[in-house]
Amino acid sequence: MTEVKAVEIKAKLIPIYIMGKKYEVPETLTIMKAIEYAGYQYIRGCGCRGGVCGACSTVYRKPGSYKIMSGLACQTVVEPEMYLTQIPFYPAIRSTYTFEKLTGKPEEVFDLYHELFRCVACNACSKVCPMDVEVMDYIAALKRGDIKAAAEISFDCIQCGLCASRCMGELPQYHIAQLARRINGRYLTPQAEHLKTMVANIEAGRYQESLTGLKVMDINMLKETYTAREMEPATGGEDWIPKENIGL
Among 74, 76, 77, 78, which Cα is nearest to 88's? Answer: 74
Classify 99 as helix, strand or coil.
helix
Judged by beta carbon, residue 136 or residue 160, the one nearer ligand FES is 160
Least distance between ligand FES and beta carbon 76 (Å): 9
Q: How far apart are CA 14 and CA 78, in angstroms?
A: 9
Residue 54 binds ligand FES, judged by CB under 6 A = yes
Cβ atoms of residues 144 and 88 within 8 Å: no
Residue 148 binds ligand FES, judged by CB under 6 A = no
Residue 48 binds ligand FES, judged by CB under 6 A = yes
Residue 47 binds ligand FES, judged by CB under 6 A = yes
Among 16, 25, 31, 55, binds ligand FES (CB under 6 A): 55
Q: How far apart are CA 6 and CA 8, in angstroms?
A: 5
Residue 78 binds ligand FES, judged by CB under 6 A = no
Among 72, 92, 157, 164, binds ligand FES (CB under 6 A): 72
Residue 52 binds ligand FES, judged by CB under 6 A = yes
Residue 53 binds ligand FES, judged by CB under 6 A = yes
Q: How far apart are CA 186 and CA 98, in angstroms?
A: 13
Neighbours of 96 (CB within 10 A): 6
Least distance between ligand FES and beta carbon 130 (Å): 8
Judged by beta carbon, residue 53 or residue 241, the one nearer ligand FES is 53
Among 74, 82, 125, 136, binds ligand FES (CB under 6 A): 74
Residue 46 binds ligand FES, judged by CB under 6 A = yes
Contact pattern for ligand FES over residues 171 through 210, marking x by CB under 6 A = ----------------------------------------
Cβ atoms of residues 136 and 121 within 8 Å: yes
| C-alpha dihedral sign at 188, 194, 196, 199 | negative
Judged by beta carbon, residue 29 or residue 74, the one nearer ligand FES is 74
Q: How far apart are CA 145 and CA 147, in angstroms?
A: 6
| C-alpha dihedral sign at 150, 182, 196, 101 | negative
| C-alpha dihedral sign at 76, 77, 80, 85 | positive
Task: Enumerate binding residues for ligand FES (CB under 6 A).
Answer: 46-49, 51-56, 72-74
